Amino acid sequence: MEKERIYEKKYPPAGQRGEAEHATAGEPEALRRDFREMYRKMIEETTNLAIPGRMQASEQFIRTAIEVGQLYKLDTEITRYEDRITVRYAFDCCGGLKELNRVFGMADTFSFFKDIDGRDLTICMDYYTHAVLRGGKIVAP
């Protein structure tokens, strides 16, 4: 799956923090091979259909995401995939992020993760420019 990094900005953490601990369990080669085969089949069975107007409208999503990330000094990565734009914000816990609602309101999906790359919280938001079909069924957005 092709991807292009559109924007990246990182801010120093507030206060002193230790290195994030990442435990990785060894996986048997057979498990990795099974995953690679499943992923290959999934990609082969995937069709992306452009959603009219969404590619052009994605530019506003990108501008808004950059503006909000700069406002709150959130670590921000914006990546363009074949079917979507993904905004990834990483930060230490805080409150009062009202303007973040602007980006949430434009996103089709979002996910939350904790303790990634030394930050308390990571939010990933996807804006789909293409409908994703697998086996003839729409799976996103």
Dump pLDDT digits (tens) for 99-137. Answer: 999 999 999 999 999 988 889 999 999 999 999 999 889
Alpha-carbon gap, residue 94 to 59, rounded angstroms: 28
Element (H, E) at 85: strand 84-91
Domains and CATH numbers, the chain: 4-12+49-140 (3.30.565)
Q: Are 118 and 104 in contact (CB under 8 A)?
A: no
Beta-strand relationship, 109-116 and 119-128: antiparallel
Would you call 7 helix, strand, or coil by DSSP? strand
Q: What is the pLDDT of residue 22?
A: 41
Q: 79: Cβ–Cβ under 8 A, 6 or more apart, which residues? A: 3, 4, 5, 6, 85, 86, 88
Q: What's the rounded mean pLDDT across residues 58-64? A: 97
Closest by Cα among 19, 49, 8, 66 to 139: 49
pLDDT at 1 (0 to 100): 63
pLDDT of residue 39: 81
The Cα 123–Cα 106 span in angstroms is 14
Residue 51: what are its φ and ψ, rounded to 5°?
-95, 120
Whether the predicted pLDDT of 95 surpasses 90: no
Pairing of strands 109-116, 84-91: unpaired
